[in-house]
Amino acid sequence: MNHYLLLYTAGPDYATRRTAYRAEHLQRAWAAHARGELVLGGAFADPVDGAVLLFQGTSPAVAERFAQDDPYVRNGLVAHWQVRLWTTVVGDLALTPVRPDQLTQG
């Protein structure tokens, strides 16, 4: 299991244009969460110029499919998106936790 970040860069007028597609976007996001694929997601604030969604899975395919089918992407609200493998090492949800006492001094 790995963590993957889906990064959105907003297109022009994203904040105002998203209203028309928000219900479908959120419905899809909550469904992905219910399936255990989407851990967290949300838009950047001040300015609202993009978003980050944290997925978990065995490959980036789940996050990629989400983006390809997202009404924000399909309707041009998102200017660019990418999926990045993210090695999580700190926190209760970290998939590869590393604690200081596990490190060797030297």
Distance CA 41, CA 38 (A): 7
Domains identified in the chain and CATH numbers: 2-102 (3.30.70.1060)
Helices (H), 35-95: 61-69, 71-74
Query: What's the mean pLDDT in 78-104?
Result: 95
Dihedral sign from CA coordinates of 61, 82, 40, 49: negative
Mean predicted lDDT score pLDDT of the chain: 96
pTM of this structure: 0.93
Give the model confidence (pLDDT) of 54-65 as tens digits: 999 999 999 999
Give the model confidence (pLDDT) of 21-37 as tens digits: 999 999 999 999 999 99
The answer to whether residues 79 and 65 touch, using CB atoms and an 8 Å cutoff, is: no
Of 58, 62, 54, nearest to 93 by C-alpha is 54
Number of residues that this document lists for the chain: 106
